[in-house]
Amino acid sequence: MKRIYNKWLKGGLLGLLAVFAFASCSDDHFDLNTSNASGTLWENLVATPGTANFAKILEKTIVNKKSYGVPATISYKDLLNSSRVFTVWAPKDGTYDEEKWLKLLEEGKNELVEKQFVRNHIACFNYNGAYATSEKLQLYNQKYAVYDAANNKFMGVDISDGEYKNIASVNGTLHLLEGEAPYSPSLRELIEITPETSDLCQYILDKDTLEFRESWSTPGSTVNGQIQYVDSYFVESNKILPYVAMNEDSLSAAIIPSNTAWQEAIDKISPFYNYKETYVYYDDDAAKYVTDTIKADSLQELYTKEVIFDNMFYSLREQRGFDYTTADVNTVKNFFETADSLVSTAYYYSSRTGHQHAPDCRVLTEGKTPLKGSNGYAFITDHFNFKANKAWQYDIIVEAEYTSYYNQRLSKYYLPEGGLVYHSVTDGNRNDSVKGRVRNNAYIEYVPVNASSKQTVAYDLPSVLSGTYDIYVVIVPENMTDPSNKNPKCNQFKATLQYDLDSKGKASTIKSDKTFKSDPSKVDTILLFENFKFPYCYDHIRNSYPVLSLQVVRSVAEFKTVTTTMYIDCFILKGKDE
């Protein structure tokens, strides 16, 4: 999530107002008031009866540029007195709690007053009410509001009629309201203002960043060898929040953990990211074992909390079977309790879409009624109800044809040239007598040095977590693309799993306690290791992997029924919920 900000340096008030004059709010495609206009917005505000308290709040509220890198030097009195074009909807005295906002200013909460009250009554451009229309417009705090000039309402609040209706000014229009315009917090703001989510809120705040963009900034004079920027641009971003959490154009739902659920999530997820301090791998170029040292605790915390956020936000426009145009508290609540699948923002463009499936979906929100925000709906849950194999410990599929994971060093007795043969299965060459389908319509044939050699095929296993898996291999019959072969031989083999290398290259090893034999009449999925728990996490670790090896087993008596040429579609690690 990124937002672009502009800060102004040097030149004092006149320089600031000059920059304001050229900002986007001065675009002239909205009709400005001409013949009937006199005075600035500020001058008309202080001259209009019943707006004294609103004017007092605006005069005390600073145009807050703290986050841009410099303290602000102008108030909203100065802003509305400039040439920059605005529309102001001013609530009349006595129709709202003026003292609340003035007290907050006295307490130093300028930013809160500015965003939730002042900017909530101001919009860029001139909306003079001359046309009997209803339109959705963006306010100065980036929120969206409905200005219904046809029915004389702003965000559902009546606009005053009579002598002081639609007051034309040289830099915009002033409207009087019969009450305060309601403020609707975004999904991020709901987290910030909800006491039960304070732990999550603090973690988010710690991830806010501000980056200066020199190429987008306007340099001024050079003082003591340092460029003084007249117009400086910064990009504010958050390293963990997705764009939809703050973007007012979004329409999303969020499953937000309370402080209790936040700690439950950490306790439940962190064991799957149990990193070691050192990982050893064999460097083929250096022809030796190499040790990498990592910050295990830091990585565990990082990826544990990343999982929480990956499963927190759900764009309603992306949910299959949900009509986002009908979104309200009730339709969103019902959908999350009855959905066949949910797709979080982290998985729009991956094979993991639909990672939450019925009946698991309904337990996620605990039957809660969501809070309505400006850009979506928030379920604040008491517990963390996600399951490992539906939310972070996904099935791992290693396609044999993706030979980047083929471990050449540990594979043995295959032809050095032409030992790996790629096969593509098409409608034209598929043997219809074979049951089952080949993933991606491709597999690899591993050709041994000679017919009697008992080769070993080894593959690295990527992205493995320190969790429990069932481990499979999918074997393809030798006549998958050869219908003329009426008596196909089977593959027969043992399996070995190696992991956790020490500095001398010695690995922890587990061997299958039986010999496996494939069924040559079908694409055969064979369980090699059941409920195997990896003690350490390998996800996001460069070069270090567990290795799965298959060793051909064949006796002399089995020459006619067992082939030493292997045919592999893929390897599958199926995550188990714990």
pLDDT of res. 34: 52
Name the residue type at position 424: S
- C-alpha 319/C-alpha 308 separation (Å) is 19
Predicted confidence band of residue 11 (pLDDT cuts 50, 70, 90): very low
Give 469: exposed, middle or buried? Use CB within 10 Å, 0-12, 13-18, 19+: buried
- Angstrom distance (rounded) from CA 249 to CA 142: 9
The answer to whether the beta carbons of residues 228 and 222 sit under 8 Å apart is: yes
Residue 351 confidence (pLDDT) above 60? no
| pLDDT greater than 60 at residue 387 | yes
The more confident residue out of 180 and 239 is 180
pTM (whole model) above 0.85: no
Averaged pLDDT, 543-567:
95
Sorting pLDDT into bands at 50, 70 and 90, what band is 349?
Answer: low
Low-confidence winner among 24-38, 56-70, 171-185 (lowest mean pLDDT): 24-38
H or E segment at 473? strand 468-475
Tokens at 8, concatenated: 């102004």
Q: What stretches of 194-293 show up as alpha helix (H) in DSSP?
A: 198-205, 259-269
Angle between helices 52-60 and 98-106 (to 10 degrees): 20
**Helices 296-310 and 259-269: angle between axes, nearest 10 degrees:** 120
CA dist., res. 220 & res. 211, Å (int): 20
Contacts of 66 (CB under 8 A, 6+ apart): 72, 111
126 with 88: CB under 8 angstroms?
Answer: no
Angle at alpha carbon of residue 369, lines to 367 and 374, rounded to 5°: 140
Q: Which of 351, 432, 365 is nearest to 397 (CA)?
A: 351
**What DSSP character marks residue 352?**
T
For residue 216, which amino acid is it?
A: W
Say whether the peptide bond before residue 182 is cis (omega within 30 degrees of 0). no
pLDDT at 21: 36
Give Cα 293 distance to the centre of its chain: 29
Region 34-43 average pLDDT = 83
Q: Quick one: CA torsion of 268, 270, 276, 280, rounded to 10 degrees? A: 90
| Tokens linked to 310 | 């990956």
The share of the chain scoring above pLDDT 70, in percent, equals: 89
Among 24-28, 267-271, 289-293, 515-519, whose mean pLDDT is lowest?
24-28
pLDDT tens-digit series, residues 488-516: 999 999 999 999 999 888 999 999 999 99
79 closest CA partner among 59, 97, 109: 59
pLDDT at 217 over 90: no
Question: Cβ of 349: how many Cβ atoms within 10 Å?
Answer: 7
Element (H, E) at 419: none
Backbone angles phi, psi at 142, to 5 degrees: 75, -5
Instruction: Output the pLDDT for position 231.
Output: 56
pLDDT tens for each residue of 115-170: 999 999 999 999 988 888 899 999 999 899 999 999 999 999 999 988 888 999 99
Select from 124, 59, 56, 116 the least CA-distant residue to 85: 124
Residue 22: pLDDT band (50, 70, 90) is: very low
pLDDT digits 0-9 by tens, 192-216: 999 999 999 999 999 888 777 777 7
Query: What are the tens digits of pLDDT across the range 51-70?
Result: 999 999 999 999 865 434 34
